[in-house]
Amino acid sequence: QVRLVESGGGVVQPGRSLALSCTASGYTFSNSGMHWVRRTPGRGLEWVAAISHDENEKFYADSVKGRFTISRDQNTLYLQMKSLRTDDAAVYYCARAWSGDLKNAFDIWGQGTMVTVSS
């Protein structure tokens, strides 16, 4: 069964850091490009970052560029978040690019991990 499971969410103060993980199972992780997407009550779904299967390409939304870093190894996707702001609070999802290509739609999603940014 193809599955993605996020972890690492929690409560963090503004300006601090937090690292999210996404563990993949049931398929060959190294063949697939991956994304992070977040959801907030006010802004809905927002694409955050993407990484190609071989890590040669990394892309970021303007709102997180310079503060967030996407990476991967083995069967795990990561999102290192620094200088967190209150508007980074969201449920964060990892998602797989269909057929591995970052140009494709997102065919598998995790259940999400919640990040709360509050003093």
Partner 1 sequence: EIVLTQSPGTLSLSPGERATLSCRASQSISTSYLAWYQQQPGQGPRLLIYATSSRATGIPDRFSGRGSGIDFTLTISRLEPEDFAVYYCQHYGSAPLITFGPGTKVEI
Q: Which residues bind partner 1 (CB under 8 A)?
A: 4, 35, 37, 44-47, 50, 57, 59-62, 93, 95, 98, 102-107, 109-112
Amino acid identity of 77?
Answer: L
Please state, in angstroms and rounded to a whole number, the distance separating the CA atoms of residues 6 and 27.
16
At 30, is the secondary structure helix, strand, or coil?
helix
What are the CA-CA distances from residue 83 to residues 4, 58, 100, 108 (Å)? 26, 20, 31, 29
Q: How far is the CB of 18 from partner 1 (least distance, A)?
A: 19
Q: How far is the CB of 83 from partner 1 (least distance, A)?
A: 19
Helix (H) and strand (E) counts in the chain:
0, 11
Q: How far is the CB of 47 from partner 1 (least distance, A)?
A: 4
Closest CB to partner 1 among residues 13, 44: 44
Closest CB to partner 1 among residues 16, 101: 101
Closest CB to partner 1 among residues 3, 16: 3
Amino acid identity of 96?
Answer: R
